[in-house]
Amino acid sequence: MRFSDIKGNEDVKRALVSMADSGRIPHSTLFYENEGGGAFPLVMAFLQYLACQNKHDGDSCGECPSCVKMSKLIHPDTHFVYPTNTGSKTGKMAAKDVTSEIYAKEFRELALSNPYFLEADMSAAFGIESKVCDVNVQEAKYIIDKLSLSAVENGYKAVVFFQPEKMNVQTANKLLKIVEEPPEKTLFLFITHNPEKVLQTIFSRCQCLRVVPPPRSELANLRSSADTQSYMDLFADLMKAVTDRDLLAALECADDLAAFDSREKQKAFLVYASEGFRKIFMIQQNLSQIAYLSEYEQDLFTNLASKCPKPYSRKAMDYLNSAAALLERNVNQKILFCDLVNRLFISL
């Protein structure tokens, strides 16, 4: 993958090239994308650029042996880590022993055929669709072992780590030291669409880069639609009621939501609200520069960030997710939105 193969995200590309050219590369970088939003191709273009033996004009050559290995995802110094579980492939193995390496072939096939794959595509490729996946302690040991060996090709060793939020505390503790002080020329490249769920101990050690979703993504459509203003207004009303502790006003917002003329619009509101809470979280982490706030949102979200306690956004997003799942199942909408608003109200 060359940078020129990727559309958009020119700022991120420039930042990556300048990091590589200056040699000032953070040990740990967290790429925050909307799901399937293109962080993976950027990460691969960056690693290919770093390893290329003939780079020019801010891009890799695409033809040297390093580029070829990188583009086939078989470079010996690049390791891929993703959440796993047991499945038909793992036989009698216990879940705690399953690591990414077992699904390496499936991962490579998926990532080569569609570098914009989603979480669900990955579990489908591994044949573990219905299972809750995680990154276990065994995986942490595997990473530490791999990184303790010297690089095969005299360049950087890299761990491309999908969904670091799926690591439990034990795994994170095991990895903490190496993430903080990795061996020389070793990079951690984390990719997440849920930055607020990444354990603080890991998150705080990473340089954060925001990958802007491709123009045709769901969110971009949502932003460009004429309804966005109404979602924003309703979200503002709802959160004003919640932070003013005015339950009646909050429940009126629930009625307005239940009265939307289509379920698609209700879903779009939930997506907007979720994104709103993520922005609040980013502001609270002093990362407002990557929260991509419009002028109108600036005041609204900055104000809310000052009023909501830090763990609130995470809880709120969980409630919104559950509401979105229930919405698919034809439940009574008035009850659904009342319940959602109640939860948002009570948990503040």
C-alpha radius of gyration, the chain, whole number: 21
Q: Find the part of the chain contacting Zn ion (CB under 5 A) among 38-46, 65-73, 106-114, 285-293.
A: 65-73
Interface size with Zn ion, residues (CB under 5 A): 6
Quote the CA–CA distance of 16 and 42 in Å, as a whole number: 9
Residue 79 Cβ, how far from Zn ion at the closest point, in Å?
20
CA distances from 73 to 7, 60, 137, 139 (A): 20, 15, 24, 19
- Binding residue for Zn ion (CB under 5 A) from 5, 15, 26, 64? 64
Binding mask 210-229 for Zn ion (x = CB under 5 A): --------------------
State yes or no: residue 68 binds Zn ion (CB under 5 A): no
Q: b vs e for 21-37, b when ≥16 Cβ sit within 10 Å of the residue's Cβ?
A: eeeeeebbbbbbbbbbb
- Binding residue for Zn ion (CB under 5 A) from 15, 26, 27, 61? 61
User: What SS3 class is residue 273?
Assistant: helix
State yes or no: residue 45 binds Zn ion (CB under 5 A): no
Residue 64 Cβ, how far from Zn ion at the closest point, in Å?
3
Quote the CA–CA distance of 60 and 56 in Å, as a whole number: 6
Q: Which of 118, 98, 311, 309 is nearest to 199 (CA)?
A: 311
Looking at this protein, which amino acid is placed at residue 264? E
Residue 138 Cβ, how far from Zn ion at the closest point, in Å?
34
Residue 61 Cβ, how far from Zn ion at the closest point, in Å?
4
State yes or no: residue 67 binds Zn ion (CB under 5 A): yes
Sign of the torsion angle spanned by Cα atoms 225, 313, 243, 256: positive
The residue (of 69 and 141) whose beta carbon lies closer to Zn ion is 69
State yes or no: residue 52 binds Zn ion (CB under 5 A): yes
Binding mask 166-205 for Zn ion (x = CB under 5 A): ----------------------------------------
State yes or no: residue 60 binds Zn ion (CB under 5 A): yes
Quote the CA–CA distance of 30 and 26 in Å, as a whole number: 10
Using CB under 5 A as the criterion, which residues of the chain lie in contact with Zn ion when the complex forms? 52, 54, 60-61, 64, 67
